[in-house]
Structure 1
Amino acid sequence: MIFCVLISFFFLLTLILVFNQKGLFTLSIKNSKKSKILKKILSFNRLTYLYFTILDNSPNIIIAIDKNNKVIFLNSRAEEVFGITKEEILGKNYEIFFQKFGVLERSILMDSLKYKKTFEVENYPIEVKNCVKRFWGKSYPLFGPKGEISGAVLVLWDTKDKQILTRELINQEKFSVVKTIATGTAHEIRNPLTTVKGFIQLLGQEKLNDPESKVFLNTVLQEINRIEKIISELLILGSDKGLKKTFFNLNYLIEKVVENFTPTAYLNNISIVKNLAKELPLFYGDEESLYLAITSILNNAFEALQKDGVIVIETFYEHGSNEIGLRIADNGPGIPEELRSKIFEPFFTTKPEGTGLGLAICYRTIEEHGGEIRVYNNETGGATFEITLPLPLENAHTQNSANCAG
């Protein structure tokens, strides 16, 4: 038996395993025709492996079945989400597989196989680890070389991912509108407003017989100041002036911001706790714009707190990491679930006196620095804003660290 196998092996391939100059195994083929065939087979195998790797590492769930409803492909993302392995499901009936995960009513994958069409569905409910998750799905029929149906494939996206993408597109449109308003009208409003404010300030210096007139003028001035603030924020949000980047220490910047809030914290009996990383690499960015961003988050925290509140500011960095981070947490009431996804949108505010632009500017600033900002509620109460910022290239960082040290 062994002899027959060896003869067949020699007859079909007549190859010899040899080492190349790099010490790797290569195939040496004696017959030129067979060499060409084998090279095509090897090339095909390489492409097959490449396609398989791409599909297997996709961030989306991919499942394929043959014409007999047997699962023939399941990628790593599907294994992760459903908590199963390929060994458990490959070759098994697809219907049994999905009954296990409580798919409601029907499967679009089965529909593609039956009707030979593409199907799409939103909010596709699947029970995963005793929790119903919703997906956006699309299924496609698979055809053989002669046009016959050979199976179907299902691709599932997490609905949250799609919602995040949609929200980002909406935010981009809003930022575009803000930019148009800012560049087209803000200066036109600010100039006459400055004149009006000047005349009202002159009137305020006059001796008015009616005390109510004095109150009235002060109210008008307060509202003008508020309009000026909105215009300034619009101009910042719509500005294309670019970032003025320098190397600076994020801890020192936080110290400067906190110093400005010290009187307010004292008057309202609010404690500001600083847990700043001792060995924080220098950051390369626009110090002024980040100062405003951190100020905006602290403003938000102070407005959410009652007296005797606590704000914790923390910086963090893992040695060897390519980013540094900042967390600002408070022990206030937290942010309702339905509002958390909206707080960075331009003009969104829950405060009667709010402009809805402060956190929008903050979001844009972090984005311009290539960083990320997210907000979440704490288990013990209150909310946390977490910012991560990318560090500069190692050689630039090292050089500037040395310059600063000297």
Structure 2
Amino acid sequence: MNDSSRATGRLGPTRSQLSWFLLFRLVVITLFLGGAILYQLGLRAPHPQTAVDYLFWLVGLSYAQALFSAAVLRKIQHFKVFTQVQITWDLFFVTSLIYLSGGIESIYSFLYILVIISSALLLTRRDSLLVASAASILYGSLLDLQYFGLLPVLPGMYFSDQIDVGTVFYAIFVNVMAFFLTALLSGTLSERLRRSEQALERRQIDYEELENLNRTLLANINSGLLIINPQGRIRLLNAAGSKITGYTLEDVYDRDVREVFPSLGVYEGEFRLVARGEARVGDRYGKVHVIGYDSTHLRDRDERILGLLVTFQDLSHVKLMEEQLKRADRLAAVGRLASGMAHEIRNPLASISGSVQLLMEAGNVSDDDKRLMRIVVREADRLSRLLTDFLLYARPSSPVPEKIDIAALLDELSQLLMADGRFSAIEIHKEYESEVWLDLDRQQFRQALWNLVINGAEAMGGRGALYLGAQAGGLIWVEDSGPGIGADLRQKIFEPFFTTKDSGTGLGLATVHAIVTGHGGEIELEQGRTGGARFVIRLGAG
């Protein structure tokens, strides 16, 4: 690559540019050779028919060369050499046309200028100067040969014998100056045009890179981004925002933010700036998410407000962790009290129950007194069971995991249920394989599953269907066909002493939660297939 090419960063013309160049050449050939033929057919030529024949041959040769060049252009890869060959051909073509149209009397010397301009556009400024030099040599040589009578005259052609030296000098001087001025101007303008094109191309590449970078950031950032225009219409929702809300950009584009996210409160006829706000937002599937959000103005370089940017994150898991920590704190506090209170309460209860039973054996006790004494014994026993459940919840022993077949444990549980009168009108459905091995504390999980099925039986009122299931990978579920648990109660069901039953202690589900978390798992309440409660336990694989 030459110095000029390095300066412009250009390796040569493109295939598309050369195609347009060949098309332009065909147009010029048609116009100017046709004009030359018409000119020679005029009255000024003493032997017009012979000159026209030569021009026809030149037309045919020019068209053949143009068609051949177009065919070769489809296959070549070195466009610069191809362009130089074409420019060389054009120089000899113009020289031939001037020769056939009268030499110094020809009106077609300006065609050299078109060739010089083409070289400046397709090649470099140095190349255009070389072309201008070649045009000057060819034109000057032609006129000098004609002046000295050395120019070959083809049969049937005529050249004027009366040529003044001043006329020849003037023609050569004017045309040579025109050639070099054209080369300088067109070369300079062409290089400026190339620099402008390259600067524009670099800027377009920069904009494309910025656009790609912006798209990548929007797609991969973990926070949801929402952009609202001054009319309160949604203009952008990124991938993280779509994942949180369940909506795609196509779902919410140009919709009013108050319609899609009414609880955000970032637009009420005008923008509202919020710092560290929280809201409960429902996604398109009906699930409610607790999100934390901030809003700030979008401004242009002139500080004019273009819109509002809302950044938000899903805090549902954070809130769940907070609830778990609060529950753990409560459990720790209860545990500290449990050991001290258990013996202090159990011992008096045992004394009361034993004393009342002895009194009942006396012969002089009336039936009404015996009925009251039985109530005292029954309630003392109930209070003792409550203490047992309380101790199991408040101070659970550390699990001793062993590899057990949870399917066998569920089969054993099913047999116990069929022998229990509370389950006589309940259908038991098994949804597990013959063997599902997990690492669990057998006794603790037997207690947890028993609490879940008892809870389901009580929720169904003793009639319905109970589904017991397990999968490899640590998934266990118990589902009932009862009325389910309302959304307002779901956050409280695992709290100790919370119950909706008149005879419940409120420790059954709390104990289940303590056992599951003690195994490093989690338990969730979902809606069952018939609208009942579905408790799903997720554990690590055994």
Equivalent residue number for residue 239 of structure 2: 76
Letter in 2 for 1:62: L
Task: Flag the structure with higher strand content.
Answer: 1
In the TM superposition, what are the counterparts of 1:238-277 in structure 2 within 5 Å? 238-239=394-395, 241-265=397-421, 268-277=424-433
Alpha-carbon distance between aligned partners in 1 of 2:363 and 2:325, rounded to the nearest angstrom: 55
After superposition, the C-alpha distances for 1:283-322 in whole angstroms (9 at most, x for unaligned) are 11211111111010111111122354221212223xxxxx
- Give the secondary-structure state (helix, strand or coil) at the position aligned to 1:341: coil
Q: Deviation at 1:216?
A: 1.7
Mean alpha-carbon deviation: is it higher for 367-376 or for 285-294? 367-376
Aligned length: 335
1:338 paired with 2:494, answer no
Root mean square deviation of aligned Cα: 4.5
Letter in 2 for 1:177: A
Find 1:62's aligned residue among 225, 228, 231: 225
Equivalent residue number for residue 21 of structure 1: none
Say if 1:372 and 1:207 are closer, same or farther in 2 by CA, change over 3 A. same
Equivalent residue number for residue 504 of structure 2: 354
Q: Deviation at 1:125?
A: 6.0
In the TM superposition, what are the counterparts of 1:266-345 in structure 2 within 5 Å? 268-280=424-436, 282-317=437-472, 323-345=473-495
Equivalent residue number for residue 138 of structure 1: 293
Letter in 2 for 1:173: D
Equivalent residue number for residue 223 of structure 1: 379
Alpha-carbon distance between aligned partners in 2 of 1:332 and 1:131, rounded to the nearest angstrom: 22
Task: Flag the structure with higher helix content.
Answer: 2
- Give the secondary-structure state (helix, strand or coil) at the position aligned to 2:425: coil
Q: Deviation at 1:345?
A: 0.9
Alpha-carbon distance between aligned partners in 1 of 2:522 and 2:311, rounded to the nearest angstrom: 28
CA contact (8 A) 2:430 2:467 kept: yes
Letter in 1 for 2:466: I
Q: Deviation at 1:374?
A: 1.6
Q: Deviation at 1:56?
A: 2.5
CA contact (8 A) 2:274 2:296 kept: yes
Q: Deviation at 1:196?
A: 2.3
After superposition, the C-alpha distances for 1:166-221 in whole angstroms (9 at most, x for unaligned) are 53344233323322321331222122222222222333344454112222222111
Letter in 2 for 1:384: R
Mean alpha-carbon deviation: is it higher for 223-232 or for 159-168? 159-168
CA contact (8 A) 2:291 2:316 kept: no
In the TM superposition, what are the counterparts of 1:177-192 in structure 2 within 5 Å? 177-192=333-348
1:172 paired with 2:314, answer no
CA contact (8 A) 2:479 2:532 kept: yes
TM-score normalised per structure 1: 0.66
Alpha-carbon distance between aligned partners in 2 of 1:353 and 1:70, rounded to the nearest angstrom: 54
Alpha-carbon distance between aligned partners in 2 of 1:380 and 1:5, rounded to the nearest angstrom: 78
Equivalent residue number for residue 350 of structure 2: 194
In the TM superposition, what are the counterparts of 1:72-111 in structure 2 within 5 Å? 75-80=238-243, 81=245, 83-84=247-248, 99=257, 102-103=260-261, 108=266
- Give the secondary-structure state (helix, strand or coil) at the position aligned to 1:228: helix
Equivalent residue number for residue 366 of structure 1: 516
- Give the secondary-structure state (helix, strand or coil) at the position aligned to 2:493: coil
1:154 paired with 2:154, answer no
Alpha-carbon distance between aligned partners in 1 of 2:234 and 2:317, rounded to the nearest angstrom: 26
Letter in 2 for 1:77: A
Say if 1:104 and 1:314 are closer, same or farther in 2 by CA, change over 3 A. closer
Letter in 1 for 2:335: K
Alpha-carbon distance between aligned partners in 2 of 1:101 and 1:279, rounded to the nearest angstrom: 51
Alpha-carbon distance between aligned partners in 2 of 1:375 and 1:53, rounded to the nearest angstrom: 36
CA contact (8 A) 2:293 2:311 kept: yes
Say if 1:359 and 1:8 are closer, same or farther in 2 by CA, change over 3 A. farther
Alpha-carbon distance between aligned partners in 1 of 2:531 and 2:285, rounded to the nearest angstrom: 26
Say if 1:245 and 1:132 are closer, same or farther in 2 by CA, change over 3 A. closer
- Give the secondary-structure state (helix, strand or coil) at the position aligned to 2:489: helix
Equivalent residue number for residue 146 of structure 2: none
Equivalent residue number for residue 37 of structure 1: none
Find 1:237's aligned residue among 383, 388, 393: 393
Find 1:213's aligned residue among 369, 394, 409: 369
Higher relative contact order by CA 8 Å / sep ≥ 6: 1 or 2? 1
Q: Deviation at 1:158?
A: 4.2
CA contact (8 A) 1:109 1:140 kept: no
5+ residue gaps, structure 2, are 12-208
In the TM superposition, what are the counterparts of 1:41-52 in structure 2 within 5 Å? none
- Give the secondary-structure state (helix, strand or coil) at the position aligned to 2:397: coil
CA contact (8 A) 1:55 1:62 kept: no
Find 2:525's aligned residue among 367, 370, 375: 375
Equivalent residue number for residue 385 of structure 1: 535
Q: Deviation at 1:71?
A: 10
CA contact (8 A) 1:208 1:214 kept: no
Larger Rg: 2
- Give the secondary-structure state (helix, strand or coil) at the position aligned to 1:156: strand
TM-score normalised per structure 2: 0.51
Letter in 2 for 1:183: S
Q: Deviation at 1:265?
A: 4.4
